[in-house]
Chain A
């Protein structure tokens, strides 16, 4: 990696100042689990690295007086997992557990996870975010690429494992900067965008802006769960993922939010899947139907049609899991033949 200016601010205003004065070429460092590797591969070449991990304000999980939980940008995934405030949100806990690497859980931060750079081997091998306006992907090996939201140049998938869970729960993010007084709180899903040109990023952050917190709204008694289809245990990117949050009254679905991961350049809100369940009694059939609806409009590339089914299954299983029903899959981490 190229050398850079390293800065370790103690306050959010200091951090913003450092980011805003870096001539549009600063990166935020928190856990480092993604960005350092990309810097070593010369994919990300910042002039300045601003380490926000030591800002006390960002190291906390707090509950405000309305009962919403605010998770600072430097809070590690294991701390989120262990936090009592997360007990009401199985989707979040299941997803962090699913990373199943104690190092990534302890070193990685929640906001860092939400802002991991895209998964696309063309991008990560140095061909740019859009890899020749998507042509490298279309004509290349796209088995892991997007099946939804992929009509433009961006074919990569958003790599965040936690974004689907958090979006399904209505999470918001607080963005500070580019000046000390600027503060914006937006829905998490609005943080992401599908870039249309190489000048755009996969998120809406402007130079000098920093995601300081994630807010998880007060537990509204919703059921939630996440399900990832993985090729093997561990921190490697899942093939498809879904998270669901829903309110079920006397067995009938009264509200639901279904979000897919690993299938589109952004986390993908499957409104059709949620609508398909409204007012209907929860059952395996309904979960399956929601799964089918979740990929409406999918346009697979030459090699990734299988991901449509994976996404559908992930939705179905996330719903079943949220409802406490049997997902009918292979128990994770089987120790012996007797387990199934």
Chain B
């Protein structure tokens, strides 16, 4: 995880933002170019939205601005690993990685992730240790929360490859499991840290 650039400069220059105006990203150019609304640079419908998911470019026709990333993944791309459980992300079941960072697809607008690398559970490498550890330690029952948990564990271990039991218990509270698989999820994660899982 890289720290945002920290540079010293005077507040005035900073606030005037000189040199900080970046070229428009893909989303705003597309949004602006295909705007159906009156206001410049704002749109209600993205006619052709390009998303990069699991290394592949997808162009999705006619995406309303309100469409969440979760709906695009599940209903337009048929990538249904991320799950809809709560309206507000309380359950973590829709966890994906956006530019490598965990986020809930249910509270992310699709339009906001154009140009970013989206990794869903379907995009984990086949030999990723986390799903295999979940099997070995039976860290799942009904399995509906599992993909979100797998992604959370993956994100957590990416940042804390040496995570201790206690760190896992205090870092993985963004997901809810109703069947009660927590005990084995901790085991699975610990086994990865200890190198008991391949991948």
Interface residues of A (CB under 8 A from B): 1-14, 18, 21-22, 29, 31-34, 36-41, 48-49, 51, 53-54, 56-57, 59-65, 70, 72, 75-76, 78-79, 82-85, 97, 100-104, 106-107, 174, 183, 233-236, 332-333, 335
Q: Is the interface of A mostly helix, strand, loop or mixed?
A: mixed
Q: Is there an interface contact between B43 and A62, defined as CB atoms closer than 8 Å?
A: no
B interface residues (Cβ-Cβ under 8 A, vs A): 1, 3-11, 14-15, 17, 20-25, 27-28, 31, 37, 39, 41-44, 46, 64-66, 68, 86-90, 92, 95, 101-104, 106-109, 111-112, 152, 155-156, 159, 165-166, 169-175
Return 19 A-B CB contacts under 8 Å, by A number. A3-B44, A3-B65, A5-B65, A7-B42, A8-B31, A10-B21, A29-B109, A32-B109, A33-B104, A37-B87, A40-B87, A40-B88, A56-B20, A60-B5, A62-B6, A85-B6, A103-B104, A107-B103, A235-B90
How far, in angstroms, from A21 to B42 measured CA to CA in the complex?
Answer: 11
- A97-B170, A100-B172 known, 18 other contacts, Cβ within 8 Å: A5-B43, A7-B41, A8-B41, A34-B88, A36-B68, A49-B65, A51-B109, A64-B8, A65-B10, A83-B6, A100-B170, A103-B92, A106-B101, A106-B155, A107-B102, A107-B108, A235-B174, A335-B166
Question: Whole-angstrom distance between the alpha carbons of A103 and B104 in the complex?
Answer: 7
Q: Which 8 A/B pairs are nearest by Cβ-Cβ distance?
A: A101-B174, A37-B88, A234-B173, A6-B65, A333-B169, A7-B42, A5-B42, A36-B107
Q: Tell me which residues across on chain A come within 8 A of B25, comparing CB atoms.
A: 8, 10, 54
Query: Which residues from chain A contact B88 at a C-beta distance below 8 Å?
Result: 33-34, 36-38, 40-41
The reply to whether B14 and A62 form a contact with Cβ atoms under 8 Å apart is yes
Bound complex: CA of A183 vs CA of B101, how far in Å? 32
Indicate if the CB atoms of B3 and A102 lie closer than 8 Å. Answer: no
Distance (whole angstroms) from the CB of A219 to the closest CB of chain B: 15
CB distance from A86 to the nearest CB of B (A): 10
Q: Are B39 and A48 in contact (CB under 8 A)?
A: yes
Q: In the assembled complex, which residues on chain B have CB atoms less than 8 Å from the CB atom of A53?
A: 112
The interface residues of chain B lying within 8 Å CB-to-CB of A33 are: 88-89, 104, 107
Shortest C-beta distance, B191 to chain A (Å), equals 15
**A102 engages B156 (CB within 8 Å):** yes
**Shortest distance between the CB of A43 and any CB in chain B (Å):** 10
Find out whether the CB atom of A60 lies under 8 angstroms from the CB atom of B108: no
B174–A103 touching, CB < 8 Å: yes
B103 contact from A14, A40, A82, A103, Cβ within 8 A: A103
Supposing A33-B107, A83-B4 touch, asked if A51 and B39 sit within 8 A by C-beta, the answer is: no
Contacts of A65 in B (CB 8 A): 8-10
Q: Closest A-chain residue to B114, C-beta based?
A: A8
Which of A32, A72, A85, A233 is the one whose CB lies under 8 Å from B112? Answer: A32
Do A4 and B65 form a contact, CB below 8 Å, given A11-B20, A18-B41, A56-B20? yes
Query: Using Cβ atoms and an 8 Å threshold, which residues of chain B touch A11?
Result: 17, 20-21
Q: Are B103 and A36 in contact (CB under 8 A)?
A: no
Contact B7 A107 (CB under 8 A): no
Q: How far is the CB of A276 from chain B (nearest CB, A)?
A: 32
| Cβ-defined contact, B104 with A63, below 8 A | no
Cβ-defined partner of A12 (8 Å) among B17, B28, B90, B173 = B17
Note all chain B residues with C-beta closer than 8 A to A34.
88
User: Among the interface residues B8, B86, B87, B104, which one has the most CB atoms of the partner chain A within 10 A?
Assistant: B104
Chain A residues contacting B1 (CB-CB under 8 Å) are 78-79, 82
CB <8 Å contact, A63 and B95:
no
- Could you say which residues of chain A place their CB within 8 Å of the CB of B24? 10
CB within 8 Å for A57 and B14 given contacts A6-B111, A33-B104, A235-B90? yes
Interchain nearest-CB distance for A266 vs B (Å)? 23
**Is the pair B92, A62 in contact by a Cβ cutoff of 8 Å?**
no
What is the bound-complex CA distance between A274 and B5, given in angstroms? 36
Give the Cβ gap from A147 to chain B, nearest Cβ, in Å: 25
Closest to B103 in A: A107
Partner of B152, one of A37, A72, A102: A102
